């Protein structure tokens, strides 16, 4: 379910980036405002459709006795020292990969002279790289690969990818820049899949939901 959630999220990012890039080919301030307004309206409509009558109210299903509260469940999860070390790694790795949000589009526009539509399309490259990483990681995990190792490979790919983006300014190579962006997405995908799988594997006594929530909270 988690994998399906992220795949659909990335598919949406990929398609929307292509659409935004097409809409912003002939850039103007008015066109940008129109695109933002349209995206906001569509977001409201899609969320209403998604939430409408999705879960019927059934009080009997929520009246089970709770054996322990959140604090006790969190303390039980923290007893394994590996959990906290993993969450620290998730926080640092996510911060590193998230820096592309404030780097890639201004870099492409100011250093390489890309248009607004072209820089918007970078999101599609990023999402495509992450989708490829999900496929590779899923295949490797299905064959018994160690999730921590997959996350480490993702971090290494990310370091190389950011280095590629950095040197493209000296050569003004759009192709190398696009390759670096795709590799950032690929490395981030490997890192995300590896760490979330590791978090789920460390959970015990029905704490998988709490482990997944902690992983998501640290990422945020």
Nearest to 17 by CA among 168, 131, 125, 164: 125
**Distance of alpha carbon 216 from its chain centroid, rounded?**
10
Longest dimension (CA), the chain: 65
Residue 26 pLDDT greater than 90, yes or no: no
Q: Please state the rounded mean pLDDT for residues 170-188.
A: 90
Return the pLDDT at 113. Answer: 84
How far is Cα 142 from Cα 136, in angstroms, rounded to an integer?
A: 10
Token pair of 47 as six digits: 């969320």
Return the pLDDT at 174. Answer: 87
Residue 203 pLDDT greater than 90, yes or no: no
First to last CA, the chain: 20
CA distances from 58 to 51, 64, 105 (A): 16, 12, 47
Classify the C-alpha dihedral 104-108-156-150 as positive or negative. Answer: positive
How far is Cα 182 from Cα 176, in angstroms, rounded to an integer?
A: 10
How many residues can be counted in the chain? 220
The per-residue pLDDT for range 100-157, each reduced to its tens digit, is 878 888 888 888 888 877 887 888 888 899 999 988 988 898 888 999 999 999 999 9
The answer to whether 13 and 123 are in contact (CB under 8 A) is yes
Q: Which residues, other chains included, contact 208 with Cβ-Cβ below 8 Å and sequence gap of 6+?
A: 200
Return the pLDDT at 57. Answer: 67
Return the pLDDT at 68. Answer: 62
| Cα 66–Cα 71–Cα 76 angle in degrees, nearest 5 | 90
How far is Cα 14 from Cα 175, in angstroms, rounded to an integer?
A: 19
């Amino acid at each position: 379910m988690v994998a399906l959630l992220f795949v659909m999220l990335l598919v949406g990012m990929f398609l929307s980036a292509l659409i935004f890039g097409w809409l912003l080919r002939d850039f103007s301030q008015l066109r940008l405002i129109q695109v933002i307004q349209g995206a906001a309206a569509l977001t409201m409509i899609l969320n209403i459709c998604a939430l409408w009558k999705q879960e019927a109210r059934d009080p009997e299903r929520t009246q089970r006795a709770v054996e322990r509260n959140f604090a006790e469940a969190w303390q039980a999860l923290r007893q394994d020292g590996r959990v906290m070390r993993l969450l620290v790694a998730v926080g640092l790795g996510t911060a590193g990969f998230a820096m592309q949000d404030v780097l890639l589009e201004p870099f492409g526009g100011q250093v390489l002279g890309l248009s607004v539509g072209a820089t918007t399309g970078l999101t599609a490259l990023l999402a495509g790289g992450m989708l490829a990483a999900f496929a590779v990681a899923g295949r490797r995990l299905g064959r018994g690969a160690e999730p921590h190792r997959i996350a480490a490979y993702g971090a290494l790919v990310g370091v190389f990818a950011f280095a590629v983006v950095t040197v493209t300014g000296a050569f003004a190579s759009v192709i190398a820049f696009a390759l670096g962006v795709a590799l950032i997405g690929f490395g981030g995908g490997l890192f995300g899949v590896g760490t979330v799988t590791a978090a789920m594997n460390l959970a015990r006594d029905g704490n998988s939901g709490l482990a997944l929530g902690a992983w998501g909270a640290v990422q945020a």
